[in-house]
Amino acid sequence: MCGIVGIVGNSAVSQRLVEALKRLEYRGYDSSGVATLNEGRLDRRRAEGKLFNLETKLAALPLGGTIGIAHTRWATHGAPTEINAHPHFVGGVAVVHNGIIENFSEIKDELIAGGATFVTQTDTEVVAQLLARLRREGLAPRAAMQAMLARVTGAYALAVLFDDLPDAILAARSGPPLAIGHGRGEMFLGSDAIALSPFTNDITYLIDGDWAVLSQTGVEIFDRAGNPVSRPRQVSQAAAYLVDKGNHRHFMEKEIYEQPEVISHALGHYVDFIENRVRPSAAAIDFAAISSLAMSACGTAYLAGLIGKYWFERYARLPVEIDVASEFRYRDIPLSPASAALFISQSGETADTLASLRYCREAGLTIGTVVNARESSMARESDAVFPIMAGPEIGVASTKAFTCQLAVLAALAIGAGRARGTVSAEEEQALVRHLVEMPRIMARVLNAIQPDMESLSRELSRCRDVLYLGRGTAYPLALEGALKLKEISYIHAEGYAAGELKHGPIALIDENMPVIVIAPHDRFFDKTVSNMQEVAARGGRIVFITDEKGAAASKLATMRTIVLPTVDELIAPMIFSLPIQLIAYHTAVFMGTDVDQPRNLAKSVTVE
């Protein structure tokens, strides 16, 4: 998703703005730009593609100035060309924008009727054009900003420079986050605190409806109505995280191998390793008092939620209503205040998930969020925050956040079972013991399967389509396997519940179709093996991901069998996530794709 940075500095800013943009690369982008204000003159450099292209332009034609704004653009309205790249300049106004201006076409028509000429296809240009018109009509920069904000609707974060305001950046938030960094004689603006971490960890977050004026000496913040407001300053943890690949080729690889460690952190937060109990902090929602649980999320986080549904229903006997957030928010679901709602999000900023959260809040439900970014909008708007402790996830394809979400959901489901009397103290201890073993088993599996994963992926990289099958919690895992493979290798992949095979997808099976079957030796194993027989009978090439017991029990010929340790059903989804992540990763490496920043994708999706 687009990234914004701004600096009101006491020394040259253009290089520092680009350094800050590099920290936002993980969000995904397809062009970039920087603008500075130097002796009353706005100037800019913009480039298609990676930041390297912008740096090359800046090296050839440097930009002076101690005040500036910069942007990485993830195209929504108009192609990712240099013309459409931000900052947009109109009549002494420079604008960078993240999000969508929903009423842009109405405003654009009006401005064109008033004589304006548009040069880009972006929705952002209407902001610059509107501000320029308001300035021409005689409004001072602050008044123009406020009038513009009253006119535009949608989800946006904005940063604006005026050429007759040499010492200030104006910023506004309605939706996507904006962090203000307090420095020594300098002020900073960023889409998140990670972007600002080289400069400061002293952060103020704007809330929806706020707009602000940053100068060298501080920030003034106003609400929608223009009243001065104060927002708390906090010490951000973002600086503590090294945004560095270590000795890995990609962030995604690093994040896959970090899983045993980060899952230990997550578990440490939710379970007492000595007593083998779920900690009381996991009971921030009164699970005994609710009659059902509504869950919602997007993409991989949704698939974590789908696995969580199996656990809440099995261990806590709690009915769960779950849907992808883009449907959930519009379905007119009859929600009872006797329910609680649980949202899952790595970023805590995903527009559809945030809107679903607000929808449930209006319906009077208790709101919980399983979230990685603890300073995010979702965390701030929840009654109970369940951090996943995964550390920053830079690779666009979610890996460690997924397994940490699962670990937290497993602990919450066990805690809910205890609270509701459906899990006994002995059962709780046994289940927690399985969770506690998990990091060690993950580390062992990661070491053991690496060579197999590489050679299997080499074969898969020659395929056009791949089918994933699973039953029980292995069904959402099959969906996740397919999602991970398609998003980074661009190979078409589908996930199905194994029992659905004969209701349609079996028509696809022939000798060219690899079918990856995820089948731990659990209650469903024999049924999944029957479905594998159906694939084998039609010449399909089976990749069988199973455990030691499953490998011993099945006599079927496969293209490849990946054997994992036999573990309890509770932790199998986390352990079986590892081969599906590595298959996607190595296949993408063989295909030569941009693994960490796959085409068209963004890390944090702050638009609908």
Sequential DSSP letters for 514-582: EEEEEE-SSTTHHHHHHHHHHHHHTT-EEEEEEEHHHHHH-----SEEEEE----TTTHHHHHHHHHHH
Q: Which stretch binds ligand F6R (CB under 6 A): 22-30, 186-194, 330-338, 340-348?
A: 340-348
51 part of the interface to ligand F6R, by CB under 6 A: no
Active-site residue, selected from the candidate residues 254, 309, 486, 603: 603
Q: Which stretch binds ligand F6R (CB under 6 A): 199-207, 342-350, 515-523, 525-533?
A: 342-350
605 part of the interface to ligand F6R, by CB under 6 A: yes
Quote the least distance from Cβ 193 to ligand F6R, whole Å: 16
Quote the least distance from Cβ 608 to ligand F6R, whole Å: 12
| Dist CA 307 CA 410 (whole Å) | 9
> Which of 192, 428 has the CB closer to ligand F6R?
192
* Helix 259-270 with 400-420: angle, nearest 10 deg: 20
Q: Which stretch binds ligand F6R (CB under 6 A): 77-85, 86-94, 292-300, 430-438?
A: 292-300
Q: Which stretch binds ligand F6R (CB under 6 A): 95-103, 111-119, 141-149, 341-349?
A: 341-349
326 part of the interface to ligand F6R, by CB under 6 A: no
Tell me, what DSSP letter sits at residue 41?
E
Quote the least distance from Cβ 165 to ligand F6R, whole Å: 35
User: By the 8 A CB rule, do 303 and 479 touch?
Assistant: yes
Instruction: Please give the single-letter amino acid code of residue 374.
Output: R
* Contact string 296-315 vs ligand F6R (x = CB under 6 A): --xxxx--------------
The reply to whether 50 belongs to the active site is no
Q: How many angstroms from the chain centroid is the CA of residue 397? A: 9
129 part of the interface to ligand F6R, by CB under 6 A: no
Q: Among 124, 146, 346, 366, indicate the residue that binds ligand F6R (CB under 6 A).
A: 346
Q: Among 66, 174, 191, 347, indicate the residue that binds ligand F6R (CB under 6 A).
A: 347
User: By the 8 A CB rule, do 409 and 307 touch?
Assistant: yes
Instruction: Please give the single-letter amino acid code of residue 147.
Output: A
Q: Among 191, 345, 473, 597, indicate the residue that binds ligand F6R (CB under 6 A).
A: 345
Q: How many other CB atoms are found less than 10 A from the CB of residue 73?
A: 26
Quote the least distance from Cβ 283 to ligand F6R, whole Å: 24
Q: Among 124, 146, 264, 353, indicate the residue that binds ligand F6R (CB under 6 A).
A: 353
Active-site residue, selected from the candidate residues 2, 298, 360, 404: 2
Quote the least distance from Cβ 485 to ligand F6R, whole Å: 11
Separation in Å, CA 503 to CA 467, 481, 507, 508: 14, 21, 9, 11
Q: Which stretch binds ligand F6R (CB under 6 A): 45-53, 140-148, 343-351, 453-461?
A: 343-351
The first and second tokens of residue 268, run together, are: 């440490």
Cis peptide before 87, with omega less than 30 degrees from 0?
yes
Which residue in the shown chain puts its C-beta closest to ligand F6R?
Answer: 299
Q: In the window 368-387, what residues touch ligand F6R (CB under 6 A)?
A: none
Quote the least distance from Cβ 601 to ligand F6R, whole Å: 8
Tell me, what DSSP letter sits at residue 460?
H
| Dist CA 321 CA 19 (whole Å) | 44
Residues 6+ apart with CB under 8 A from 219: 180, 182, 187, 204, 212, 213
Tell me, what DSSP letter sits at residue 511?
T
Quote the least distance from Cβ 274 to ligand F6R, whole Å: 32
350 part of the interface to ligand F6R, by CB under 6 A: yes
Strand ranges for 103-168 from DSSP E: 154-162
The reply to whether 298 belongs to the active site is no
Q: How many CA atoms lie within 13 A of 77 on its CB side?
A: 19
Quote the least distance from Cβ 398 to ligand F6R, whole Å: 3
- Greatest C-alpha distance within the chain: 82
Residues 6+ apart with CB under 8 A from 307: 406, 409, 473, 476, 477, 573
Q: How many other CB atoms are found less than 10 A from the CB of residue 303?
A: 28
Q: In the window 461-520, what residues touch ligand F6R (CB under 6 A)?
A: 483, 487
| Dist CA 183 CA 105 (whole Å) | 39
For ligand F6R (CB under 6 A), the number of binding residues is 15
Quote the least distance from Cβ 374 to ligand F6R, whole Å: 13
The angle at the Cα of 325, spanning 320 to 327, to the nearest 5 degrees, equals 95
* Contact string 387-416 vs ligand F6R (x = CB under 6 A): ----------xx------------------
3-state secondary structure of 79: coil
* Contact string 438-457 vs ligand F6R (x = CB under 6 A): --------------------
> Which of 191, 398 has the CB closer to ligand F6R?
398
Quote the least distance from Cβ 366 to ligand F6R, whole Å: 20
Any idea which residue has 């203000």 for tokens? 180
Per DSSP, what are the bridge partners of residue 556? none
User: By the 8 A CB rule, do 192 and 24 touch?
Assistant: yes
| Dist CA 278 CA 405 (whole Å) | 16
Cα four-point dihedral sign 460, 466, 469, 473: positive
Residues 6+ apart with CB under 8 A from 181: 187, 188, 189, 190, 193, 196, 199, 200, 202, 203
| Residues contributing to the site for ligand F6R (CB under 6 A) | 298-301, 345-347, 350, 353, 397-398, 483, 487, 604-605
Active site residues: 2, 603
